[in-house]
Structure 1
Amino acid sequence: MNETKKPLRRGRPRLKANEEKAEVSLVVALDRGIQVLICLADRRCATLAELAKITAIPAATAHRLLTTLQQRGMVIHDAEKGKWRIGPQSYRIGSTFEEGSNLLEVAPAVMRLLSEETGETANLAVEEGGLLLFLVQVESENPIRASFKNGTAAHFHTSGVGKAIMAFMNEAALESFLTPQILVQQTPNSITDAQELKAELCKTRERGWALDDEERFLGMRCIAAPIFDSLGKVVAGVSVSGPIARFPDHKLEGLATLVVKAAATISDKLTHSSAGS
């Protein structure tokens, strides 16, 4: 007798329990590897013990991640000092962002002019993963000045650029952005109340520029304005920062005028760059 053949089932085969677990573990491993890279980028270098403590990843797991990343050139180990740091492949991958960003093509020249006009350090930053990521800094020639390395991350609510960006988000986007945020107190001037922060953002939106009034570092002030893309969406912020002695109350409006002008120029260049691409 001829047996009736069962029809073949199409579609994705069902995973066995151990296969499903392995697939999820791969995602977890990737996420942990990214955490390690971000930690090294923030700290510049760190020991295994420091990485394990900061990321809350078990030391043995962190070591396996590091050695895997090392094989791919993503991290480098200084055996003499016992510290890990970002490797050449991480730099190569990161540099492609800079190469492909119209923002980083048009902003530096405008920022140099802004720094010359104000005599202060000019900064450019964007939102990345709920944090403010500083991409470019044009330093002032003044001996006392604000200074940090490109790639530095900061809290939005204590930064002039952060407040400038938040102030021009639409209401729904702002609520979604603020919900998971922890308003940490970095100085006595830091705004840690959500309603007070929203009032400050409203004030920022009305005048067109934001002020970090010693909220991130005591003795330092920062004036910032938003940068918009061709669709009118806020995508970044530009600022000038320096010691409060050079940012007295009676000079804020004048400095703000130059910052707002620089932000508008960058926005205009972004629009024309997008139209020409």
Structure 2
Amino acid sequence: MSSYRIPSIANTCSIFQLLTSTRKAMTASEIAKELELPRTSVFRILKTLEEEGMVVAMGKNYSVGHRLINLGLQMISHIPERQLCVPVLQELTHRTQESSHFAILSGTHALFIEVCDSPHALRVARRTGSLIDIHCSASGKVLLAHSSPQACEHLLNRIEFTPRTPNTHKSKESLLPELEQVRSQGFAIDDIEYHDNVRCISVPAYNSLGQVIGALGISSADSRFPKSRIPELAKQLKKASQQLSSQLGYQGKV
């Protein structure tokens, strides 16, 4: 651990990460228990964040504040790939009639920096700024599989392997063979692992150095996305990734 580390700032970052990843407001006691921090320290941090508009208090419960959300959206708007991927996603959704997205790695999550919704009334609803677990999402698996061996090992050791559905990978040992398959076949599948009745597919996008800088994905209700549709959607995604990657200076073939 670095001698320059400031514990109070590190604890604040942990609270931010917990509140942005959870789907419900939490009390100071719940946060302290989850992060294994003193309740008094957590309470003082939360009160400071509340005064700064970073969190919102609803009785004894705390959730992410609008100021923090705005900062996150401003950060996303400055990601250079975002502007380039908008027309690519629009065309992809037009061709497939399914919701599409572009995601980047953010810790043990994939961060959606752009989303294009399906025209169908029944569709997978995602929003820009959403975070999803990397062990049970197609885009997360792409980003994990194409990390360096050291980074991949580090992330695998940090993942909690929270079961979202009966199909979710529950261990590092279970996930590793699939990551190897993702590298060899060029795409990843979320086979109803993150949400019930939802199937997803994703491919990598590359920069001028040949590095994977994000993942293009499609999500759909499994009733419209049977496994027999995987080859078709993989082909459409690779075509879209080729377009985006070329704009980013990539000279190879996706």
Normalised-by-shorter TM-score class: 0.7 to 0.9
- Deviation per CA, 1:62-91: give whole Å up to 9, x if none: 22112222333323435xx55434335424
Amino acid at match of 1:239: G
Q: TM-score by structure 2 length?
A: 0.84
Look up the match of 2:184: 206
Are 1:44 and 1:86, in contact at CA under 8 Å, matched by a contact in 2?
no
Residues 47 and 149 (structure 1), Cα distance of their counterparts in 2 relative to 1, 3 Å cut: farther
Are 2:73 and 2:129, in contact at CA under 8 Å, matched by a contact in 1?
no
| 1:77 and 2:57 aligned | yes
Is the partner of 2:164 in helix, strand or coil? coil
Look up the match of 1:31: 10
RMSD: 2.6
Is the partner of 1:240 in helix, strand or coil? strand
Task: Give, in whole Å, the separation in 2 of the partners of 1:193 and 1:62.
Answer: 31
Task: Give, in whole Å, the separation in 1 of the partners of 2:33 and 2:132.
Answer: 20
Are 2:76 and 2:129, in contact at CA under 8 Å, matched by a contact in 1?
no
| 1:61 and 2:46 aligned | no
Task: Give, in whole Å, the separation in 1 of the partners of 2:215 and 2:24.
Answer: 24
Task: Give, in whole Å, the separation in 1 of the partners of 2:215 and 2:120.
Answer: 23
Instruction: Give aligned pairs, total.
Output: 247
Residues 45 and 189 (structure 1), Cα distance of their counterparts in 2 relative to 1, 3 Å cut: closer
Amino acid at match of 2:114: V
- Deviation per CA, 1:189-245: give whole Å up to 9, x if none: 223354442322222222211111112223211010011122111121111011111
Look up the match of 2:140: 162
Q: After superposition, where does 1:134-149 map in structure 2 within 5 Å?
A: 134-149=112-127
Is the partner of 1:94 in helix, strand or coil? helix
Look up the match of 2:248: 270
Are 1:102 and 1:270, in contact at CA under 8 Å, matched by a contact in 2?
no
Q: TM-score by structure 1 length?
A: 0.77
Look up the match of 1:217: 195
Aligned residue among 157, 171, 175 for 1:179: 157
- Deviation per CA, 1:80-127: give whole Å up to 9, x if none: x55434335424432342232111121122112211211111122221
Where does structure 1 lack aligned partners over 5 or more consecutive residues? 1-22, 273-277
Is the partner of 1:259 in helix, strand or coil? helix
Are 1:124 and 1:236, in contact at CA under 8 Å, matched by a contact in 2?
yes
Task: Give, in whole Å, the separation in 2 of the partners of 1:182 and 1:86.
Answer: 22
Amino acid at match of 1:63: F
Greater C-alpha radius of gyration:
1
TM-superposed deviation, 1:45: 4.2
Are 1:124 and 1:237, in contact at CA under 8 Å, matched by a contact in 2?
yes
Amino acid at match of 1:112: Q
Aligned residue among 70, 74, 86 for 2:64: 86
Task: Give, in whole Å, the separation in 1 of the partners of 2:148 and 2:68.
Answer: 34
Is the partner of 2:219 in helix, strand or coil? strand
Where does structure 2 lack aligned partners over 5 or more consecutive residues? none
